[in-house]
Structure 1
């Protein structure tokens, strides 16, 4: 199943592209865990996610600051919490904990969280970008 859909577009092409890529990677992580893929594949997906998420968060936070979006601080705090969750999941994978339990955490604390974050916080940036055009 693919999590990304057009309802998640915030109207800023680069951010939409990054959001789509991140959700696709999280979907791949879930699929890899559910089909009991090897440890190497899980590590590769997690490695990409950690790198890409940091780049995305830095870019998005700089956009919020540039366009003086009032939720910029909330956004930064939310990102920090997400990074802690991502580290926790990575740690559990490294320790070879039960993939069934990790799948539930990925669904709730990565995928669902990210979708809700886009809809509740990231969408707020759009009107501030339009004001500056």
Structure 2
């Protein structure tokens, strides 16, 4: 399965939308590399980069939501904390188990699907407040 950004994920903030697209691209790359049983070091590098990228994106997005006074800013922040916990658990499992089939499924269900749902149900609420305040 390949995760694709589409118009239903638009936040109204081009920079945030671009970050979402890149996040999905990175998740797809990690998923493909795990399915192809790439080397442990290559996968560890991808996981490390993805973790850092997600944290930076979350910080950017939370700041935008706060500035724009988005009503779901707190829900968004709590969701990001949940993702970080899931990602850290995923990373620990990877370090001990390697790219097992069950870990690939966890990546899909717990991380990739979570990102898609979060964007569609929380992040897109930014669109309703985009024109109410300065970026």
Q: What range describes the TM-score normalised by the shorter chain of this pair?
A: over 0.9
For structure 2, which runs of at least 5 residues remain unmatched after alignment? none
Q: CA deviation at 1:11?
A: 2.4
CA distance in 2: counterparts of 1:96 and 1:64, whole angstroms: 37
Q: CA RMSD in A?
A: 1.3
Q: CA deviation at 1:97?
A: 4.5
Contact 2:12 2:126 survives alignment (8 Å):
no
What is the CA deviation profile of residues 51-79 of structure 1, one whole-angstrom value per residue up to 9, with x for unaligned ones? 11111000100111101111111111100
Moved over 4 A (4+): none
For structure 1, which runs of at least 5 residues remain unmatched after alignment? none
CA distance in 1: counterparts of 2:47 and 2:133, whole angstroms: 36
Please name the residue that 2:2 is paired with.
2
Please name the residue that 2:96 is paired with.
95
| Paired residue secondary structure (2:4) | coil
Q: Which one scores higher on RCO, CA 8 angstroms, separation ≥ 6?
A: 2
Residue correspondence of structure 1 range 35-114 to structure 2 within 5 A: 35-97=36-98, 99-114=100-115
Contact 2:47 2:91 survives alignment (8 Å):
yes
CA distance in 2: counterparts of 1:6 and 1:91, whole angstroms: 31
Contact 2:26 2:50 survives alignment (8 Å):
yes
